[in-house]
Amino acid sequence: MQDIDDEMKKPLLKHLVEITAHREHSRLAVSVISALYQLTNVQAIRMLEIFTMRDEHYVQEKMVIRDGAVHTIDDHTSEDLKEPLASFPAMMACIRNHLNEYLETADDGSHVLWLPVWLHGKMNSCVEIRSDRPFEQQIMDVIHGIFHVYCNYQSLLDYSERDALTGLFNRKTFDEQFTRYAFAIAPAESHALDKDDRRHDGEVIDEPKGHWLAVVDIDHFKQVNDRYGHLYGDEVLILMANILRASFRSHDRIFRFGGEEFVILLRATTLTDARKIFDRFRQNVQEYDFPQVGKVTVSLGFVGISRETPVVILGHADQALYHAKKSGRNRICFYEELVDSGVLTSGITTNDTVEFF
């Protein structure tokens, strides 16, 4: 970036200071595309996110800036806005060849620069910069400099949010993100279930979608550590994290709270589907052959997310989990159902047998 004009250095430094002041991914992305737009005078810039659903890859626009205004696409967006990854040949070329950039001329004559964002060896998003004239070298230097700062800083943020052993989000991240994900999220896409699963007595059930929090505990995990050692116990945790990732969408959130306990935020799903999804995960674990250890099971308690505090919501899910373990393990229990049936009393209890996070 040695060829950058003195006039550009001051605003460039100002933007770099602003970029590195953020501790949250979406705000970081907004500051980056704003800096790129203001410093390069291009037509438009988009941030596109890649996510997986039903083993298929899709792309959804997360934010765009044009005519000087930034528009963010939040989680209230309809799933209709997602497009198959195959509809973006430039992004496909970046993935196939592991490219750090791709430059092309669009059918309308505009010049488009694609900048993939790589994380853990996978492309999780991409910046699209569109200009009505070819990119000059000085402009490319500015773009590369800001974009590399963004990628490096995003990696640092991601590292601080993850559990070192499993790579899942950690408890600290849950505490920071719960309110945003629990109350701001809305239907994005439903899980893949057979049509028969959505029917009752020949009629389609029109059930409202909600958001759910589940607490998962590996049954008899202490015995695994005592019998096989902590190395095999760690391997069980790593493989459990892989099963969790495979059982839920990339838009859901999975956390390791420490030890053998995990928390799941399941988004925009009916109660009927949530029950099936959680039980499908339980079956996936039950059917998996863990090296040396053999068969492992999990117990799960879940609750509908309301505008209660995280402590209350976690406490309710933990009560349901405790009941699942007390009732024989390897099962799922729904808190509201247990309350309605009189098995549990509503509200946080001080029962010493219930362990709260």
The residues carrying an active-site annotation are 260
- DSSP 3-state assignment of 188? coil
Classify residue 140 as exposed, middle or buried by CB count within 10 Å of its CB (0-12, 13-18, 19+): middle
For the stretch 310-343, what's the b/e string if a residue is b when 16 or more beta carbons lie within 10 angstroms of its beta carbon?
Answer: eeebbbbbbbbbbbbbeeeebbbbbbbebbeeee
Task: Give the span between the Cα atoms of 314 and 175, in whole angstroms.
Answer: 11
Q: Give the contacts of 37 (CB within 8 A, at least 6 positions apart).
A: 45, 65, 68
Distance, in Å, from the CA atom of 337 to the CA atom of 153, rounded to the nearest integer, reads: 44
Q: Using CB atoms within 10 A of its CB, is residue 276 exposed (0-12), middle (13-18) or buried (19+)?
A: middle
Distances (CA, A) of 172 to 54, 115, 162, 308: 29, 30, 9, 19
For tokens 């991601």, name the residue.
158
The torsion region of residue 138 among left (phi > 0), alpha (psi -120 to 50) and beta comes to alpha
| Token pair for 161 | 């949010």
Instruction: Look up residue 143 and give its two tokens.
Output: 């773009």
